[in-house]
Amino acid sequence: MHILETRDLSHSYGEGIHALCGVNFIAPRASTIAVLGPNGAGKSTLFKHFNGLLFPTSGEVLYRGEAVSRATVREVRKQVGIVFQNPDDQIFSPTVREDVAFGPVNLGLDAETIEHRVSGALDLLGIEHLADRPPHHLSGGEKKRVAIAGVIAMEPQVLVLDEPSSGLDPQGVDTLTAFLRTLPRRFGMTIIFSTHHVDLVPELADYIYVLDRGAVIGKGTVEELFLRNDLLQRARLREPPMMRLVRILRENGVDITTGYAQEEIEDAIVNLLRERTC
């Protein structure tokens, strides 16, 4: 049984606005799944079904094999946390600490557990120093981290992030990537994220779905998807430069064995060059 799944999920916002059309999506436990696609493809609409912010027009969403419905949504929201694209949609308390505590307080946890969860989340995101600040005066990247800490403090099984790298500076993206990478291994957490930032995908994703006009137009591993030019064109994506380098080396007869995360490719190239010069 998969932790999260959609079956023939369709969603219409009204007459003629068919945002999702028959989406079949699977997230195995402790996997990291990327959802890619152009603006308006339906990524955010899909994500809002994962914890019952929206319900299907037809089809279903299953959490651990059980349909997400009005009857189960309260329980599902404890397990599936969403970080919205714009942190201002998510942050509203007078201080960062209170904001991060909002979820745990709503879960009805005792004061000691709340304190423990909040300090743990602030620590994980490296924002203890912001704890007493009003969130509204923070930078975009800091607000993003506060929003993520708020969801992490609920200790969800599934962390859904809608365009988590938007608004971050390059170092902020690297820090976030390194952080997200640890979660499946440390906590068995499942991560689902959308992004236009293709370089992030080989660093994080085990599996990718590509959406266009509400339908899944491609799915597969990083290697399977980024080597398909037709698909990249349709989804208005481009091949990550490091993957392009590996592809071109191979097309020119260089036998290079590597995964597709940047560090793996760097190591493979260094090893290859060392072997040749010895």
Ligand X SMILES: Nc1ncnc2c1ncn2[C@@H]1O[C@H](COP(=O)(O)OP(=O)(O)O)[C@@H](O)[C@H]1O
Exactly one of 6, 31, 44, 195 binds Mg ion (CB under 5 A); that residue is 44
CB of 176 to Mg ion, least distance (A): 18
39 is a site residue for ligand X (CB under 6 A): yes
Nearer to ligand X, 44 or 157 (CB): 44
**Residues 180 to 239 in contact with ligand X, rule: CB under 6 A:** none
Nearer to Mg ion, 44 or 190 (CB): 44
Exactly one of 6, 31, 32, 45 binds ligand X (CB under 6 A); that residue is 45
CB of 189 to Mg ion, least distance (A): 22
Measured between alpha carbons, how far is 223 from 238 in angstroms, rounded to an integer?
13
56 is a site residue for ligand X (CB under 6 A): no
CB of 13 to Mg ion, least distance (A): 13
165 is a site residue for Mg ion (CB under 5 A): no
Q: Quick count: other Cβ atoms within 10 Å of Cβ 96? A: 27
C-alpha triplet 77, 82, 85: angle, nearest 5°: 155
Nearer to Mg ion, 43 or 49 (CB): 43
Exactly one of 32, 33, 34, 43 binds ligand X (CB under 6 A); that residue is 43
CB of 13 to ligand X, least distance (A): 3
Phi, psi of 54 (to 5 degrees): -130, 150
The interface region with Mg ion, picked from 21-29, 44-52, 97-105, 143-151 by CB under 5 A, is 44-52
Contact pattern for ligand X over residues 7 through 26, marking x by CB under 6 A = ------x---x-x-------
List of residues contacting ligand X (CB under 6 A)? 13, 17, 19, 37, 39-45
